[in-house]
Amino acid sequence: MPTVPVVRSLRRVVRPRASRPGVDLSHPARSPLGTSVVSCVAYDREGTRLMAECGIADALACVRKGGSSREGGGFVWIGLHEPTEAEFEGITELFGLHPLAVENALEPHQRPKAEWFGGDMMYAVFKTVTYVEHEKLTATSEVVDTGEIIVFTGADFVITVRHGRHGSLGPLREALEAEPERLAQGPAAVLHAIADHVVDDYLLVADEVQTDIDDLESDVFASESPFGGSSSGGLSGTGRIYQLKRELLELKRATLPLARPLELLSDRPNRLIDPEIRKYFRDVADHLARVTEQIASFEALLDSILQAHLAQVSTAQNEGMRKISAWVAIVAVPTMVCGIYGMNFDHMPELHWPVGYPLTLLVITVTCVSMYRAFRRNGWL
């Protein structure tokens, strides 16, 4: 049974990160170990590597030769990236994985979940997210990219299956190996570290999305906003808002369904997860709750920004219609007068009066100027 001080050290996992959450998408997905095996490492009961990178069968044999997992014989951690059914077949037979869980692991786009198959194996799905860098948000910008990490946890093994170009667990593995007492807690400690790693990325991505929303809000309410002024600018601004709402929805689909699996991992007693480690799944669940609250506030804020932007567009359109109407009214005066005198009747007032023509022009000018000043006072021009 692990001591409390050692288990508490799980909270202090420190992972090297860039200043922004975007992960290097050029991370190699394949390795000399196999077409899809990124890493395969065996650890002893003290959390120390038993050997360098090795074959899967050799690593498992090395662990089980040291004693059963119930006696603290260590475990194997295998990392795979987008394996095919044929590539995964040998692992399925070697570890006795449930066919239904294997089928789900090979197919991406699974919902976050945690399921138990008997008392000796657990299957968990985590949606990974990363922030996609962009100089300026446009109506077609990709803001959030998602992937998946599927984790098979047994008494003496952890198998991670990663889908997507980001979400590499290499830095996490190195951080755990730097403090072997964490790995000495067994596969459950690795499962907790992965869950904490994924949710921490949610927090970082949420902070970056908030920056985009703040910039978008500043543009909408700027005195010389690029959104207003023309119909094309208005449509472009609406497209930017809707694009960010779509990307936020993708983030929501990754985070919101994870609440139930974390609840099961923190509250459901089982032989694979020590009761002390379950407490730290509650801490991960608290971080997830913070993310979901942020996303809910982002949705409300974007709705308000959209309504404000549409109101600005509507006001700009009304302003344009007022100006057009005012000029039409002013131009109607000389049009009407000229239309009357253009009828060429013999008997018309002032037709043969020497000052009739300049007087008519004067009346037209005074009337148009008076109407112009009246429209200016009322804000129509």
Domain 4-313 architecture:
2-Layer Sandwich (3.30)
Strands (E), 118-237: 121-131, 144-154, 157-163
Q: Name the class of domain 315-377.
A: mainly alpha
Segment 303-326 mean pLDDT? 81
pTM: 0.74
Amino acid at 7: V
Segment 365-374 mean pLDDT? 85
Confidence (pLDDT) at 370: 86
Residue that the structure tokens 């490492």 belong to = 41
pLDDT higher at 36 or 35: 36
Does 307 score more than 80 pLDDT?
Answer: yes
Q: Give bridge partners of residue 137 from the DSSP assignment.
A: none
Confidence (pLDDT) at 250: 92
pLDDT higher at 279 or 340: 279
Which DSSP string corresponds to 330-368?
HHHHHHHHHHHHTT--SS-TTSS-TTHHHHHHHHHHHHH
12-31 pLDDT, tens digit each: 343 333 344 443 333 344 44
What percent of the chain clears pLDDT 70, i.e. is strictly above it?
Answer: 82
124-168 pLDDT, tens digit each: 999 999 999 988 888 888 899 999 999 999 989 999 999 988 888
pLDDT higher at 129 or 343: 129
Segment 37-62 mean pLDDT? 81
83-112 pLDDT, tens digit each: 888 888 888 888 888 888 888 888 888 899
The domain limits of the chain are 4-313, 315-377
192-251 pLDDT, tens digit each: 999 999 999 999 999 999 999 998 888 887 754 444 444 334 556 788 888 999 999 999
243-279 pLDDT, tens digit each: 999 999 999 999 999 999 999 898 888 888 888 888 8
Region label for 351, one of left (φ > 0), alpha (ψ between -120 and 50) or beta (otherwise)? alpha
Q: How confident is the model at residue 347 (pLDDT cuts 50, 70, 90)?
A: low
